[in-house]
Structure 1
């Protein structure tokens, strides 16, 4: 599967390596082209996953605010709910489309 911003591949990994959580596909950290991501200061706390780290996505001279997100240190109970450790896995939204 790929996370695409237009023709730009932000992440790519076999579907079996991704984790689906609440309708979002989370890519393993090693499959993400981190040169396109910039840490964002936007705060968010999920009551069951924990503190979220947002990333803005670089595309040429543009910076698309908060189009990717990750949970660096999920709450312990989150692993039981999801079925595996998803620490630092990255999900995308809005203009960044995940395709098979």
Structure 2
């Protein structure tokens, strides 16, 4: 699968390596293209996943997010450790 914004490929990985949470595909950290994401200062804490890190993509604010250290209960609920995995706003195309 790949995530792209226009023609820019942001992430690419086998579907088996991704994690699906609440309708979003989360890409493993190693699948993110070098320099594709810039950390954002936007704060957010999910009540069940924990503190999020937002990212800007190609100069567009907050189009990606990750949970660097999700709650242990969230990992248990999802069934796999998704620490650092990255999901994308619907304006980013995720395709197989």
**TM class, shorter-chain normalised?**
over 0.9
Give the structure 1 partner of residue 70 of structure 2: 74
Q: CA deviation at 1:94?
A: 3.2
Q: Following TM superposition, where does structure 1 have runs of at least 4 consecutive aligned residues deviating by more than 3 angstroms?
A: none
**Structure 2 Cα separation of the partners of residues 20 and 82 of structure 1:** 8
| Greater Cα offset, 69-78 or 87-96 | 87-96
Give the structure 1 partner of residue 20 of structure 2: 20
Gaps of 5+ in 2: none
**Structure 1 Cα separation of the partners of residues 35 and 92 of structure 2:** 15
Q: CA deviation at 1:51?
A: 0.2
Give the structure 1 partner of residue 45 of structure 2: 45
TM-score by length of 2: 0.97
**Structure 2 Cα separation of the partners of residues 72 and 51 of structure 1:** 8
TM-score by length of 1: 0.93
Give the structure 1 partner of residue 10 of structure 2: 10
Q: CA deviation at 1:36?
A: 1.4
Aligned residue for 2:84, secondary structure, equals coil
Backbone CA RMSD of aligned residues: 0.7
